[in-house]
């Protein structure tokens, strides 16, 4: 539900803007927390729609929050990856609820409190975020808050008929770029950038899903079924999952490392941003291969390192996914492209089920051969950073040729 419904939610965000998308997300999230709060043994069926509402409402929060990175200029990718890391580690909240429940706080009280906290989301939606979008690059003297989207320069730009030109938050496009330079959604969808990026995400996401799905049987086999050892390693895995918010911004810092430095003559800001993503894409693919190799090695103590690599790679993967889409494609299509790449990668991830059947059936519970195959498949992810690198190098060569001819 989380991945598949990101697609219609992306269209909703791009079509109706921040306020509508967030109010819809707040409604779903609040309904989800209320359903969990009022669930019981007799009303256990409420948990199915409740968890779906929480997931879909949560992805809407993430999608509308990532544009906040546009306010930070030279740290834009860092903020985008930080939000993705926070989303990744959000299960820490349920760990807190679990500990409170063990201390005597009822589940109903905890979830009613979470429902009441939606008031904070509503206030933030109306008083700290724009009605439509936060543009990138920001217009001169752009402000946010109650007067979000107001700009001295923009308000001074009055058309001949007396109407204010829509150059502020109402339009997420780059205001210094002509409209005909923006690619259509179809052109973005059919571009090689999108195709290779989809493959990059899908291959690594499948690897992570397979690892999580076979983790318990793997630990059972490596520990000889010793319950205390299985519990210890499972707890270690659970704790590392909460560290995504700490790991994700490292990827953003890598992507923002060129900001503030002089660009090559004739190089656009988008080209510089795109060139900076190459190292991030390459490191993410390298982490996945190393993680897959460790996961394929039947040596129990090594699995602690596997858990660290897994959460590091996952935080780089999802943060880098959002950051790359925001850099490589027009921001007016961000919601649709982000939703589409998540939905299509979810379709690719359905391959995990025949892999599970293969492990449980012909392979007798031993996932070694499947892990080796997935490790080899992970190497395919290197195509994406190589293609982006070649694209940037070709652009630089064209600039050099045009400069020499002039």
Instruction: Give the tens place of pLDDT for each residue, 261-271.
Output: 777 777 888 88
- The DSSP H or E segment spanning 239 is helix 227-241
86 pLDDT more than 80: yes
- This prediction's pTM: 0.80
Alpha helices in 103-161 (DSSP H): 107-116, 118-127, 152-156
* Structural tokens at position 76: 């834009």
- Distance of alpha carbon 312 from alpha carbon 81, whole angstroms: 12
Compute CA distances 308 → 37, 83, 320, 359, 403, whole Å.
Answer: 34, 20, 18, 25, 48
- Distance of alpha carbon 149 from alpha carbon 265, whole angstroms: 32
In DSSP terms, which residues pair with 158 in a beta bridge?
A: 164
174 pLDDT more than 60: no
Determine contact, residues 208/240, Cβ cutoff 8 Å.
no
Contacts of 47 (CB under 8 A, 6+ apart): 35, 36, 39
Residue 176 binned pLDDT confidence (cut-offs 50, 70, 90): very low
* Structural tokens at position 241: 């999952």
Domains of the chain, residue spans: 1-130+186-405
Read off the pLDDT of each residue in 193-204 and give the average, rounded to a whole number.
Answer: 95
The residue ranking higher by pLDDT, 402 or 307, is 307
Q: How far from each other are the two terminal CA atoms of the chain, in whole angstroms?
A: 55
- pLDDT, tens digit, 9 for 90 and up, residues 99-141: 888 889 999 999 999 999 999 999 999 998 888 888 877 888 7
DSSP of 270-335, one letter per residue?
A: HHHHHHHHHHHHHHHHHHHHHHHHHHHS--TTHHHHHHHHHHHHHHHHHHHHHHHHHHHS-GGGHH
CATH number of 1-130+186-405: 1.20.1250.20
Question: What's residue 148's pLDDT?
Answer: 55
Residue 156: Cβ within 10 Å count: 10
- Distance of alpha carbon 55 from alpha carbon 336, whole angstroms: 18
Contacts of 151 (CB under 8 A, 6+ apart): 139, 140, 141, 142, 143, 167, 168
| C-alpha atoms less than 13 angstroms from C-alpha of 240 in its C-beta half-sphere | 20
Question: Measured in whole angstroms, how far is the alpha carbon of residue 14 from the centre of its chain?
Answer: 17
Buried b (16+ CB within 10 A) or exposed e, 159-185: eeeeeeeebbbbbbbbbeeeeeebeeb
In DSSP terms, which residues pair with 58 in a beta bridge?
A: none
Question: What's residue 133's pLDDT?
Answer: 86
* Structural tokens at position 148: 């979000």
């Amino acid at each position: 539900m989380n991945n598949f419904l990101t697609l219609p939610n992306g269209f909703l965000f791009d079509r109706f803007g921040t306020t509508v998308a967030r109010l819809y997300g707040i409604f779903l999230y609040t309904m989800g927390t209320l359903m969990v709060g009022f669930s019981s043994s007799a009303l256990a069926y409420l948990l199915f729609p409740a968890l779906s509402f929480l997931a879909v409402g949560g992805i809407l929060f993430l999608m509308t929050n990532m544009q906040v990175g546009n306010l930070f200029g030279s740290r834009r990718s860092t903020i985008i990856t930080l939000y993705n890391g926070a989303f990744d580690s959000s299960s820490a909240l349920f760990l807190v609820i679990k500990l409170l429940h063990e201390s005597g706080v009822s589940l109903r009280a905890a979830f009613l409190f979470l429902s009441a906290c939606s008031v904070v989301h509503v206030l933030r939606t109306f008083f700290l975020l724009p009605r439509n979008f936060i543009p990138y690059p920001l217009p001169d003297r752009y402000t946010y808050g109650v007067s979000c989207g107001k700009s001295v320069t923009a308000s001074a730009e009055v058309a001949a008929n007396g109407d204010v030109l829509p150059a502020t938050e109402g339009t997420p496009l780059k205001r210094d770029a002509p409209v005909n330079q923006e690619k259509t959604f179809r052109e973005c969808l059919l571009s090689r950038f999108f195709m290779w990026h989809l493959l990059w995400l899908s291959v690594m996401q499948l690897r992570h899903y397979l690892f999580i799905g076979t983790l318990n049987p793997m630990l059972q086999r490596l520990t000889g079924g010793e319950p205390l050892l299985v519990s210890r390693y499972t707890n270690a895995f659970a704790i590392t999952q909460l560290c995504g918010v700490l790991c994700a911004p490292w990827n953003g810092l890598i992507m923002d490392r060129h900001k503030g430095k002089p660009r090559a003559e004739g190089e656009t800001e988008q080209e510089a941003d795109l060139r900076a993503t190459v190292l991030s894409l390459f490191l993410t693919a390298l982490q996945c291969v190393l993680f897959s190799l460790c996961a394929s090695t039947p040596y129990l103590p090594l699995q602690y390192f596997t858990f660290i690599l897994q959460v590091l790679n996952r935080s780089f993967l999802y943060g880098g996914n959002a950051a790359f889409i925001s850099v490589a494609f027009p921001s007016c299509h961000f919601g649709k492209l982000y939703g589409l790449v998540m939905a299509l990668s979810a379709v690719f991830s359905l391959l995990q089920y025949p892999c599970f059947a293969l492990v449980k059936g012909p392979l007798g519970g031993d996932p070694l051969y499947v892990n080796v195959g997935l490790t080899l498949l992970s190497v395919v992810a290197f195509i994406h950073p190589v293609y982006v690198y070649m694209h940037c190098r070709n652009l630089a060569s064209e600039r050099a040729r045009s400069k020499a001819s002039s």
